[in-house]
Structure 1
């Protein structure tokens, strides 16, 4: 599902909840495309084809109620959105550092969550966190929402915590890693 239009339609359904349109025409997918993407530069046939493909892939569901046709995300469609969110997740750098360290600590049980622990570590590396110890990672920028999202995705909420600290003893390597001014 690398199609940009597919992604845009799924995101729109995620944000809006659903599309609705009067179901008076057998061309409901085309009508949905026309109604929603009015004034936007999308080929209506391509939008209708994409909606049909999403429906066939069971990422969206269409239903008619009292003459109104509704298009919603399915459970699989919501999973796809989570995947998009996961892939696009990033921690925004502050223009001016607030001199606070976000210290992520976790103790994920070996036997039940080994894959989740390794996947979390890999994602933290990609997000440019600094590994202070095996299960202790540092970031100088606000990242609480991103960490909560990862904890939800990996189902590790009970095993993870974030500490907001003013100081890390001997933080020279960490400051260098993030290109922060020396104190």
Structure 2
């Protein structure tokens, strides 16, 4: 007699498949990945929109869980893809945020003094230029760049998250990095 793995030890695909029959099991994915999805959305859109996007990401994932490809053990790229699609709806707000940050040079979405102090001096000096450069990168290229830089996905995982071929993701990442490097005056 074989027993099912407890949810906390189960892989993502197993949890999703179990949730088809026992919907409450999906909560394990929420517990496992909410912080990462929320952090990514907050960095892209700010706190209030980040809260909304993170919550909506899991609502959509729950609704679409029966369509999940269970041959993919790791659901995180799938969740980042859903979050990226939701962020696309808020793209104008994101670009406005980068432009405002570029004008002010202030860390608008830092939570408190400790967060502002924690950044490296070099990064603080270039933050405005970086924000301005991000605002100028095309939205498609920026999505791949930020999934790799902030969500720490590989270019292949970012491609999967966005529903594009790995080669396209690598091209977009290269193009975005080149534009950022040029804007910052780096080799």
Give me the TM-score of the superposition, normalised by structure 1.
Answer: 0.28
The answer to which structure has the higher strand fraction is: 1
The answer to which structure has the higher helix fraction is: 2
Give me the TM-score of the superposition, normalised by structure 2.
Answer: 0.28
Larger-Rg structure = 1
